[in-house]
A and B are shown apart, each in its own frame.
Chain A
């Protein structure tokens, strides 16, 4: 199962426009610079390709931090 560290690092790589090393599990990802719907799509695509889980709009709305997102994914994998 993917670890929180791998998950955070993987998302950071996918975001591309985020400085390496700035994303942590506690980052409120909706506050990152230039946050847009495209970031939401990147998250959905990343979670689908790495965990085979398709997040819902409600999942994205309820999660604040990367850790919240990770916990939702882990819950769905179970």
Chain B
């Protein structure tokens, strides 16, 4: 038995934050407007203060059940990928099991990954189906990163948005999810980090002291920090090499792929990767304009839109690649 992606739905928080809102909050950034627009983001959604990553994940799953007529009873494993969990313990996926009314014989597992999370989730689902005998795995990816931003961190505020996706991975008799390439470089842990507030560093007075980076962007140790330049270099070096490794493993080339969906970090980086790999523009699908970078949900949200727009059809071969915080990266080829 093989595994494949059977259905995807997503949910975005209610609150919009447009570029007009952004330039109202950061009037000094007007001089950088042309460059900021190169990221491709025009609006994003922002999580409500009383809403959690699991709340929007549950909403995405309920939408999946409704839009694709899926019975919660059919789910035999739930995977929850996020970076914010409801409690220190228990596992948030267990809480989601109850909220979605999933059967008690359902397995439940949280995992903490960012932009590579969806591809890792697919690999876990594939293993559960092809090795353990699961039939329907529900993969929920959810990001509420905007909550962690320093109010002065204009780079992060511009690029990221919140959102959750629910993907059903099911068994079938023909191949659907192909080989994987994984990668990790923990030496880059400080490139994308919230330093204080976890087990390693408690929140202290120093955690709240704002400090600018070399480009004048401001954050502090209890807020999200991303070294955009380093992450850009990381993406440009890692993704083409990873895709080449994947093509070797699959004995395929760019010509064999119908569509590429990269993690929607920002359009400028995706286009630099596309150009470096010499992929024709029409083979790359992006969906970032109205949602921003939604971290682990960016690939499933884009894939769901590609399917809706008819750009990804049954039988198509789609290469997907996630890369980011960790540093962590992963890629695979799926056949719908």
Contact = CB atoms under 8 A, between A and B. Distances in A.
6 contacts: A16-B34, A17-B35, A34-B35, A41-B269, A44-B236, A45-B232
B227 A49 contact: no
B32 A34 contact: yes
Given A17-B34, A34-B32, A35-B215, A40 B276 contact: no
Nearest to A45: B272
A57 B226 CA distance: 14
Interface in B257-295: 268-269, 272, 275-276
A45 B268 contact: yes
A78 to B, nearest CB: 20
B233 A38 contact: no
A60 B35 contact: no
Interface in A33-47: 33-42, 44-45
A5 interface: no
B26 to A, nearest CB: 12
Interface of A is mostly: helix
Contacts of A48: 236, 272, 276
Contacts of A57: 227, 229-230, 233
B34 A41 contact: no
A42 B155 CA distance: 15
Given A35-B215, A49-B275, A54-B237, A41 B232 contact: yes
Contacts of B36: 38
Interface in B37-95: 38-39
B197 interface: no
Interface residues of A, number: 22
A39 B215 CA distance: 10
A36 B214 contact: no
A41 B258 CA distance: 29
B83 to A, nearest CB: 23
Interface of B is mostly: helix
A45 B34 contact: no
Given A34-B35, A42-B38, 20 more contacts: A17-B31, A33-B31, A34-B32, A36-B32, A36-B215, A37-B213, A37-B229, A38-B268, A40-B229, A40-B232, A41-B228, A48-B236, A49-B272, A49-B275, A55-B233, A56-B233, A57-B230, A57-B233, A60-B229, A61-B214
B253 interface: no
A3 to B, nearest CB: 22
Contacts of A61: 214
B217 interface: yes
B233 A54 contact: yes
A33 B276 CA distance: 29
Contacts of A38: 32, 35-36, 38-39, 268
B308 to A, nearest CB: 31
A75 B275 CA distance: 24
A64 B271 CA distance: 27
Given A54-B233, A54-B237, A37 B215 contact: yes
A74 B268 CA distance: 25
B185 to A, nearest CB: 15
A60 B228 CA distance: 13
A37 to B, nearest CB: 4
Interface string A1-32: 00000000000000011000000000000000
A39 B35 contact: yes
Nearest to A33: B31
Interface in B136-193: 155
A54 to B, nearest CB: 6
Most chain B CB inside 10 Å of its own CB: which residue of A40, A55, A60: A40
A57 B237 CA distance: 13
